[in-house]
């Protein structure tokens, strides 16, 4: 299924939950406190957002998130203000995954509960057949002042059009 959002469209309003990184999270005994982030906070900013079906799942954990961490400085050099990864997992799981991956404060690990925001983009997926329920599909977005400049959804299990290299090339 193709995304309903297109290049040139304004992103829909949405609110994500996440646990902001802090030094206290270096202790695995700390969990942090979830907070809300509104897409309206991205007004005037260049945002690279990529979505994964699930934290700690093989492709997402090994092939999707790590290159964004490794190429963080390249994104910043291209004027990116915010890098975010989105999944339908809860904020605590997203925070735990980000800590395991060494993300710290480089990438926001956002919870798109029930893939609600992704559904507004036509980028949710029903993975009930494998016991996951409704999830965010694997996709990449470049958003500049709330306007979509790039949107691509993966059609298979590989990370191509939503990966760090593809998004860097599109900037």
Catalytic sites, residue numbers? 60
CA 158 – CA 161 distance, rounded (Å): 9
Give the single-character DSSP code of 61: I
DSSP result, 110-124: EE-GGGHHHHHTT-E
CA 161 – CA 14 distance, rounded (Å): 23
* Pairing relationship of beta strands 134-136 and 35-38 according to DSSP bridges: unpaired
Beta bridge partners of 139: 51, 153
Would you say the C-alpha torsion 95, 101, 112, 17 has a positive or negative sign? positive
Cβ count near 30 (within 10 Å): 14
Task: Confirm if 152 and 138 have CB atoms less than 8 A apart.
Answer: no
Angle at the Cα of 96 (from 92 to 99), degrees rounded to 5?
140
């Amino acid at each position: 299924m193709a995304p309903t959002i297109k290049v040139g469209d304004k992103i829909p309003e949405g609110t994500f939950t996440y646990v902001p990184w802090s030094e206290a999270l270096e202790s695995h005994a700390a969990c942090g406190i979830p907070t809300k982030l509104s897409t309206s906070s991205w007004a005037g900013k260049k945002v690279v957002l990529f979505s994964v079906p699930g934290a700690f799942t093989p492709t997402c954990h090994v092939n999707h998130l790590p290159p964004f961490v490794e190429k963080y400085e390249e994104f910043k050099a291209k004027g990116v203000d915010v890098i975010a990864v989105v999944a339908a997992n809860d904020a605590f799981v997203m925070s735990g995954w980000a800590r395991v991956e060494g993300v710290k404060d480089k990438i926001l690990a956002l919870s798109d509960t029930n893939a609600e925001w992704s559904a507004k983009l036509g980028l949710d997926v029903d993975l009930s057949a494998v016991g996951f329920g409704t999830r965010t599909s694997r996709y990449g977005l470049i958003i500049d002042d709330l306007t979509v400049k790039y949107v691509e959804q993966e059609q298979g299990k590989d990370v191509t059009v939503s990966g760090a290299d593809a998004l860097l090339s599109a900037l």
